[in-house]
Structure 1
């Protein structure tokens, strides 16, 4: 009897040992990622070629993901590291709402800022990564899975709408918070000679500077064309009225698996092309027929860094290292440039110490001035196409098309002197509405690519 027990004991020990060895082999095995392919499964991983090694130069890789019928594709990024550029011109990842680049593009991404979850409206999705001949990095790793579109006995989320007016709202509105892990898509189509205006009566989604977690996104066009992103919204401020460029609008609401909130309730109407958005909130029957330029959306924030990254470094051949000098940031052998506006020189002492200005400022960004407009009481409203945000705090960073943008207000339109079309280093404070403000003594300096290393170094040091 003892001999039998001993044999069984040895067999059990051998079984456990073999199981442990197999587990170790499983833990140390790594998937091999190729340049593109067809991924047909309930779930799985997709990564750039050779990940975690650097991806190859001069490549174009296409992955087609298919999950079971009746489900949609949810794509969550674990690691994202592509060459950065403010317009994603060199290395980038495009994500499409189907198996073709002729359907709606969910976003274009590059840089090192990890995109939020991407969700298709069908059971297919396509990823297309392009790399040029310079600057390769680790690439990306993402997890895809098939999830069911949200629907229950009380409310179906999303659908096709063809009436001239209607409502969109989050699930459970107004009784409870919207549920986690939700994906809703509305396709709105009106008469061919009309466009669509959307206004919100209530809007409360999980806040995030780049709207990575819970958001509602608006696309010009429908599911079956390469529609362009109008804007991506989150937080607790009602977006300004949204107007399409054509008679089709795709609306996508996404919530992740964590924090939820009250949600939104909005309505849409069809209006003549060129009409101004209505300024009242009296409901679906309110409209305006004045033929003026539509107002620009206020808070289209992130596919995301959404469709464009916030961590960006222009491609350049590095000149000699820069150092800060009085009046701005210049090269080591260059004379200090004369002030752009002599009237500002006395008050602009913030420029004399880059580090002190960096530490005392609530936001530090680099970007290109795209437009300026006079504001009340001698102020100036400035729109910036963002290159990189080193400090952002509560600063609202929005997405316009495929670029990230920031709105700033200069308290004095004369100082600091800002010119349209010029790239700047900008430092300042943030007001209660999330807008950056510049006082006359705020640090501003023309930006060159060499300054990126200096700003990165300041960002890594404790103030």
Structure 2
């Protein structure tokens, strides 16, 4: 499944005072990969006219990126973590350009990394060297049903806001309503480490996402079982 999306009137100038929404849905088991083919909005680096890309079915989902101006590199790729992606295009009352053209495809995510053990260590790719850009990985910790999972994050340094680790209580890594922690930025540098999270069940899911630019040394965490609370 694939297709193109464009701003109104593209490749001619779009109108002022727009708020346009585009909703992409791909089949179960796939994610959305969005590639910038052309981009020009008002200003050079400005956000007077801009595109917001959301990881989910509407604009209440996690904001993956906000882009605007004429310096957005062609070929940049944005990936959802689920089968939905929402794009919002906003223009103000003055100044127009030719707009933008995106291509989207249904893409297969990396295979989930399973950890069926009572204790262990998980780290970002290449840790303690820099992790890759444009990376999406799911991890799953599974312990005996009579136990819960204790996760202790020992070191954490990512690009603030855009590269993150989400820790989910349960089997569904995209169910943000069961988020135990959403970590991003230099948490080691600000003295937040270590950080401890407890599940309420025998499975914890992790989702590590990085965008197309800027990388850091990443993260490492330990996990072990703990008694279930009655």
The 3-state SS of whatever aligns with 1:54 is: coil
Q: Structure 1 residues 165, 54: CA separation in 2 closer, same or farther (over 3 Å shift)?
A: farther
TM superposition shift of 1:165: 8.2
The 3-state SS of whatever aligns with 2:122 is: strand
Match of 2:81 among 121, 138, 160: 121
- State the alpha-carbon separation in 2 of the partners of residues 140 and 221 from structure 1: 34
Give the equivalent residue in structure 2 for 1:217: 163
Match of 2:8 among 49, 55, 69: 49
Q: Structure 1 residues 130, 179: CA separation in 2 closer, same or farther (over 3 Å shift)?
A: closer
Say whether residues 1:79 and 2:26 are aligned partners: no
The 3-state SS of whatever aligns with 2:64 is: strand
What is the total number of aligned residue pairs between the two structures?
A: 186
Stretches of structure 1 lacking an aligned partner (at least 5 in a row): 1-41, 189-193, 204-209, 211-215, 232-238, 257-262, 271-463
CA RMSD of aligned residues (A): 4.7
- State the alpha-carbon separation in 1 of the partners of residues 83 and 71 from structure 2: 26
User: Which has a greater percent of strand?
Assistant: 2
The TM-score with structure 1 as length reference comes to 0.33
Query: Per chain length, whose mean CA-contact separation is higher, i.e. which structure has more relative contact order (CA < 8 Å, sep 6+)?
Result: 2
User: Which has a greater percent of helix?
Assistant: 1
Give the equivalent residue in structure 1 for 2:136: 183
**Matched-pair contact (CA < 8 Å) for 1:104–1:228:** no
Say whether residues 1:168 and 2:123 are aligned partners: yes
Stretches of structure 2 lacking an aligned partner (at least 5 in a row): 142-150, 169-173, 199-205, 224-230
Cα deviation digits, residues 168-226 of structure 1 (max 9, x gap): 333xx69xxx99986324699xxxxx9956347xx9xxxxxx9xxxxx8126787537x
The 3-state SS of whatever aligns with 2:163 is: strand
The TM-score with structure 2 as length reference comes to 0.61
Give the equivalent residue in structure 2 for 1:381: none
- State the alpha-carbon separation in 1 of the partners of residues 36 and 104 from structure 2: 9
Cα deviation digits, residues 114-168 of structure 1 (max 9, x gap): 26311011111110111111111111111111111112xxxx45x89xx998423
Give the equivalent residue in structure 1 for 2:49: 91
- State the alpha-carbon separation in 1 of the partners of residues 3 and 37 from structure 2: 12
**Matched-pair contact (CA < 8 Å) for 2:44–2:70:** no
- State the alpha-carbon separation in 2 of the partners of residues 164 and 48 from structure 1: 50
Give the equivalent residue in structure 1 for 2:228: none
Superposed, 1:130-279 pairs within 5 Å as 130-151=90-111, 156-157=112-113, 166-170=121-125, 183-185=136-138, 198-199=155-156, 217-218=163-164, 224=176, 230-231=184-185, 241=188, 251-253=208-210, 266-268=219-221
**Matched-pair contact (CA < 8 Å) for 2:20–2:90:** yes
**Matched-pair contact (CA < 8 Å) for 2:45–2:70:** no
The 3-state SS of whatever aligns with 1:252 is: strand
Superposed, 1:15-30 pairs within 5 Å as none
Give the equivalent residue in structure 1 for 2:58: 100
**Matched-pair contact (CA < 8 Å) for 1:184–1:254:** no
The 3-state SS of whatever aligns with 1:121 is: coil
Q: Structure 1 residues 181, 265: CA separation in 2 closer, same or farther (over 3 Å shift)?
A: closer
- State the alpha-carbon separation in 2 of the partners of residues 132 and 228 from structure 1: 32
- State the alpha-carbon separation in 1 of the partners of residues 90 and 167 from structure 2: 25
Give the equivalent residue in structure 2 for 1:112: 70
Give the equivalent residue in structure 2 for 1:61: 20
Which structure has the bigger radius of gyration? 1
Q: Structure 1 residues 110, 264: CA separation in 2 closer, same or farther (over 3 Å shift)?
A: same
